[in-house]
């Protein structure tokens, strides 16, 4: 992410762009998430990565995390394309960070940690609030871009969708034992 920030000439080729998607430039489904509007945006997202890895490290195994992240990035990007037609450009990792937080909260809850359920309720409440009341104008000013609150919601939804099969499988195993 830092390298991409330091090479701004690549931004037009890699940014999530509605026009680019329409021209079958499908790499943008992934690459746009690793670009940032400015240094503050990059630092906040790097801080979010550090926080998620610190909070949920026991559940973040490299291969599983990479596959989960790829699935979420694709679902988020397709969701923006299909359901947020006013978005022409998108950058940032915050939607994936919302997916990671949701993943970690669900895993905590599945291991019997009540805090996991509270974290899950918290992230759902947060995205519901910002999608109803709007994003912080101070944050938008700081990152010099609109806060993509719909992408945050899609991050939570994509995580829940990808976690559903394993959650159902675990529940089925418990009920049949």
pLDDT tens-place string over residues 23-74: 999 999 999 999 999 999 999 999 999 999 999 999 999 999 999 999 999 9
3-state secondary structure of 47: helix
Task: Tell me the whole-structure pTM to 2 decimals.
Answer: 0.93
Is the pLDDT confidence value at 159 over 80? Answer: yes
Q: How far is CA 172 from the centre of its chain?
A: 28
How many CA atoms, within 13 angstroms, populate the side-chain half-sphere of residue 177? 6
How far is residue 168's CA from residue 146's CA, in Å, rounded to a whole number?
37
pLDDT 10s digits, 90-144:
999 999 999 999 999 999 999 999 999 999 999 999 999 999 999 999 999 999 9
């Amino acid at each position: 992410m830092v390298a991409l920030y330091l090479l701004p000439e690549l931004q037009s080729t890699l940014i999530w762009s509605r026009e680019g998607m329409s021209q079958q430039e499908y790499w943008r489904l992934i690459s746009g998430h690793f670009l940032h509007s400015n240094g503050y945006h990059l630092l906040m997202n790097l801080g979010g990565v550090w926080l998620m890895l610190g909070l949920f490290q026991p559940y973040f195994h490299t291969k599983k995390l990479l596959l989960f992240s790829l699935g979420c990035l694709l679902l988020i990007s397709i969701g923006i394309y299909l359901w947020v037609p006013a978005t022409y450009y998108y950058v940032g990792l915050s939607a994936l960070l919302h997916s990671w937080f949701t993943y970690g909260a669900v895993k905590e809850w599945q291991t019997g940690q009540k805090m996991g359920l509270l974290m899950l309720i918290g992230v759902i409440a947060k995205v519901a609030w910002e999608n109803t009341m709007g994003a912080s104008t101070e944050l938008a000013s700081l990152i010099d871009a609109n806060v993509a609150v719909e992408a945050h919601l899609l991050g939570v939804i994509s995580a829940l969708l990808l976690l559903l099969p394993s959650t159902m499988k675990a529940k089925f195993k418990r009920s049949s034992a």
